[in-house]
Amino acid sequence: MSHSIIGRAMDKGILSLNTVSLRAFSQNSYGSVDDYTYGGGAGMLISCEPVWLAYQEALSRIEQSFDEEASGDRREEKKVRVIYTSPGGRAFDEAKAEELSKEEALIILCGHYEGIDQRVLDRIVTDEISIGDYVLTGGELPALVIMDAVSRRIPGVLNNDDSAGTESFENGLLEYPQYTRPYEWRGESVPDILLSGDHAAVEAWRLTESKKRTGKNRPELLEKWFENRGIF
């Protein structure tokens, strides 16, 4: 998060990031935060108390970052959304990234091992999110994906705010192919329509190419795009 576009946004103060380690709130001398599951089964489960205390620490840091005059009432005014990264969550998409980018602060709880005791999840989690139908060794990579996708939606993060509006999924389709110099490369030329100066024709070409690419790679998205427009 400290590199490239997101890193520059953090340097400018547009974004801020804090990390809280569950192990800092271990309830034993070994520094462990997990235990065996009731009912048997393979793997270990993260216990409630370390997660609860880490959550309280995260809330405290968020409150400190708010204006001093408002910090005292902030918890009562609006609960900070807590995202739990889990393969059992709702599929993450651009619409969710846009929704979360409107929040003043977010807490992301990374799953690990066999997961986290359900009791603490029921108490603090507002959004359970999955980045795909597969299982990873931990929730840190999904957390990075969510942070990156959400961060780029925040005004001022991208140098050209209009660029976010032309990316894949913005209008329900995948993005059209794009080209830059040189005009000819290894026998392949840039489509002449892009050099025509006819903006309406260029936009029509881009829409056609977007539909072609979507139909090839994500046919279910193209079907939904047509349905939303009453075209069957």
Predicted local distance difference test score (pLDDT) of residue 75: 46
Start-end of CATH 3.40.1280.10 domains in the chain: 4-151
Whether 126 has a pLDDT exceeding 60, the answer reads yes
pTM of the model: 0.85
Q: Which helix (H) or strand (E) element contains residue 57?
A: helix 48-65
For residue 47, what are the CA distances in angstroms to 25, 33, 76, 130? Answer: 11, 6, 27, 21
Mean pLDDT of 72-98: 84
**CATH hierarchy code of domain 168-228:** 1.10.1270.20
Q: How confident is the model at residue 70 (pLDDT cuts 50, 70, 90)?
A: low
Please, which contacts does 65-70 make with residues 24 or more away whose CB atoms are closer than 8 Å?
65/16, 65/105, 66/104
The residue type found at 205 is W
Q: What percent of the chain has pLDDT over 70?
A: 91
Structure-model confidence comparison of residues 68 and 123, the more confident one? 123
Predicted local distance difference test score (pLDDT) of residue 159: 80
pLDDT-wise least confident of 11-15, 45-49, 64-68, 165-169: 165-169
Kindly report, residue by residue over 36-51, the tens digit of the pLDDT.
999 988 889 999 999 9
Q: How far apart are CA 86 and CA 82, in angstroms?
A: 13
4-151: CATH superfamily: SPOUT methyltransferase, trefoil knot domain (3.40.1280.10)
Q: What is the chain's mean pLDDT, rounded?
A: 91
Between strands 81-91 and 106-110, the pairing is parallel
Predicted local distance difference test score (pLDDT) of residue 69: 41
Start-end of CATH 1.10.1270.20 domains in the chain: 168-228
Query: What sign does the CA torsion over 192, 179, 146, 100 have?
Result: negative
Whether 163 has a pLDDT exceeding 50, the answer reads yes
Structure-model confidence comparison of residues 74 and 134, the more confident one? 134
Provide the token pair at 5: 């576009």
Kindly report, residue by residue over 17-31, the tens digit of the pLDDT.
999 999 999 999 999
Predicted local distance difference test score (pLDDT) of residue 171: 86
Mean pLDDT of 144-151: 97
Predicted local distance difference test score (pLDDT) of residue 165: 57
Whether 77 has a pLDDT exceeding 80, the answer reads no
Mean pLDDT of 83-91: 95
Q: How far apart are CA 114 and CA 39, in angstroms?
A: 13
Q: Residues 6 or more apart from 26 whose CB is under 8 A from it? A: 32, 33, 50
